[in-house]
Structure 1
């Protein structure tokens, strides 16, 4: 089957894929020339009654929990459609910042519902791509033919709604998944039309082997990433210091910066600088490049002197910094040790906590026998779920099963299962007193409602959120 793009976007109940949920899914398949294939998909997805949304998120997209309850599919129903109808051979899943955001929400949704969290992005010759860094690199290296906006603070930006406005791309509703999909396709068409070589080049970097070969060469690369400063179009010249020790990837050094102050630092000192994300923190010139996340990198021959000047790259200084970096001994080892300090290796849990299991996707891969058992859970319906018992090897799946039953088949719970579900919700929503999820939820509603700039419509939405929160809270 011929490859196709599938553009998609989500509206969610918050920013954490471990805790928050998808509330709207919009998608459209196109051929590789970006012509639509079939009708667009647009789904509202019900919030489970153990989830309190982030009030700020709801004010952004205006989808209330009540709307999801009235018009939505369950998460389980949506995922069956997603895996059966959307995941087709040769599909390239693409969005705008999807790799860092939307893809993670899809993965955790699949995990909670006993689907494989990863196969949709590689099996059947499927893959993923992200337009955000494509737009950033196009602006940095090949800006001609496209209008490029600036944020109110005067800094360059490629925010989707601003790109749509300045380039007169149809965008009927900001923060609506279906509308954002349409404008993402329009932006892809514009970049492909004006800079076809760069578009095709970056599309081919979906292949992680090609990325690894380029990065592991003896020369620096041009690297565009959200990590880099806005004033330089988020683009620099970077060199691989060494491979990442714990997983496939590279430690990339920003050659704008003199490496001398960092080369002799001990791992603990490097870790302190690397992990400091405060407003006062100094820029740390090392970042991790993951081979499988479609990074926007290019060989140096794409950069001429005019481009370098526009991007503020002093090529003589870059050469001096590169020479110092190549002469350094043991820097990569110290950086990897610093990473171990920042992200200590996880110790296997002796007992899986039911209260945490929704977020434990990355604690290990599921075995093939357990994947087969997961398919038994997915196939169960209201008539068979009550009698379903599955002997998983992975204790995470054992802990997930009661939650899956309660969320999807509440009317089929035994009295003991129903009581345990209420206890789970009480721990999740009420534990911690004034610091509980519920307390923070209602406090935030109150704060937003009292702001002078909050509109009458927004106050109505906040009242709906208050009513919803009160309706799902278990008895204390």
Structure 2
């Protein structure tokens, strides 16, 4: 975790050095009043929101409009992704919206989509920007139609009762917590003193000893964390059954859009192919791209 902190700090320094105006703009969004001004529930202006909760294929960006204060979190503003038709939000009942909001996409009935509501936390320095900051080339690339977004926003603003409805949807509900320890490291509480002592012992063990350890832990996250620790650092220490388990995990991460990996293997290949076919790509760069395209096969993916 400490290595992540150092990497984040160095990355922030690099952004400050290379893009000082961008750095200052985002740094100033620590101010909750500034964020609240952009997500004003009276004005309901369209803004751009950058978040990993939007697909990487869409640039992790979306045009949004603020609709309601979160009923249980004073720092939460509920927004709507204006790429989508607001008709289901307007026409469905509170229960029907909950059934299509607080659920994983893979668990939705065939043909149904999640209601595109999200909560922006004004105390977490969200990345927001005016719509004017995006140019026509970017809107085309990220499939953002400003005219359609404005039309959807007008439809939502014309329904003043929607504010109360959205608050009812979120009253007593939240998104299901993830069970993946990689994504839930800070979401499952602190490790017990006993578990921390055992984890310190694990650090000093050899790969051979790690594969044989039968330590029992209080926290259910640790066994899976230990398995992935071994697989990532000493794959040769895995048994045949463990290797199959690791291969399944990797393939799911790279092929399942719901695995929160940022980009799937198919999208990776598609983007490489597009770059290879671009006329301005040099022969040197094309050779590198082709090597990258061969990479999945080299690790049996």
Scaled by the length of structure 2, what TM-score is found? 0.56
- Offset of 1:210 from its aligned partner? 1.2
- Which whole-Å deviations, capped at 9, do the CAs of 1:285-338 have from their partners, x for residues lacking one? 100111101110012221222322222111121121111111123222122111
How far does residue 429 in structure 1 lie from its aligned partner after superposition? Answer: 6.2
Give the 3-state SS of the residue equivalent to 1:239 in structure 2.
strand
Partner Cα distance (1:291, 1:244) in 2:
11
Partner of 1:234: 60
> Residue 222 of structure 1 aligns with which residue?
48
CA shift at 1:188, angstroms?
2.2
**1:251–1:286 Cα contact (<8 Å) kept:** yes
1:259 aligned residue: 86
Q: Which runs of 5+ in 2 are unaligned?
A: 176-187, 197-215, 243-301
User: 2:31 maps to which residue?
Assistant: 207
* Counterpart selection for 1:338 from 155, 169, 172: 169
Cα RMSD for the two superposed structures:
3.7
Which one has a bigger Cα radius of gyration? 1
**Where does structure 1 differ by over 6 angstroms across 4 or more consecutive aligned residues?**
none
Q: Is 1:304–2:128 an aligned residue pair?
A: no
Counting only pairs closer than 5 Å after superposition, residues 267-278 of structure 1 correspond to structure 2 as: 267-278=94-105
Cα distance, 1:259 vs. partner?
Answer: 0.2
Q: How far 1:222 moved relative to its partner?
A: 0.8
User: Contact 1:251–1:332 at 8 Å: present in 2 too?
Assistant: no
| Deviation, structure 1 residue 184 | 2.9
The structural deviation recorded for 1:454 is 7.0
Q: Write the distance in 2 (CA, Å) between the matches of 1:336 and 1:191.
A: 38
The correspondence for 1:455, drawn from 235, 255, 259, is 235
Distance 1:199 1:269, change over 3 A: same
Give the conservation status (yes or no) of the 8 Å contact 1:251–1:288: yes
Q: Do the aligned residues in 2 keep the contact of 1:205 with 1:294 (CA within 8 Å)? A: yes
Cα distance in 2 for partners of 1:190, 1:458 equals 38
Pick which of 201-210 and 279-288 moved more: 279-288
Q: 1:454 to 1:208 in 2, by over 3 A?
A: same
Aligned to 2:155: 324
For 2:120 and 2:30, the matched residues in 1 are separated by 14
What CA distance in whole angstroms lies between the structure 2 residues aligned with 1:201 and 1:343?
31
**Separation in structure 2 between the aligned mates of residue 437 and residue 274 of structure 1, nearest angstrom:** 28
Distance in 2 separating the partners of 1:274 and 1:341: 13
Report if the CA contact (8 A) 2:71-2:171 is conserved. no
1:294 aligns with 2:118: no
Kindly report which structure 2 residues correspond to 1:19-418, keeping only aligned pairs within 5 A, or say none.
Answer: 26=2, 177=3, 180-216=4-40, 217-248=43-74, 249-281=76-108, 282-343=113-174
Is contact 1:271–1:341 with CA below 8 Å preserved after alignment? no
Counterparts of 1:264 and 1:329, CA distance in 2: 14
The aligned residue for residue 16 of structure 1 is: none
Alpha-carbon deviation of 1:448? 10
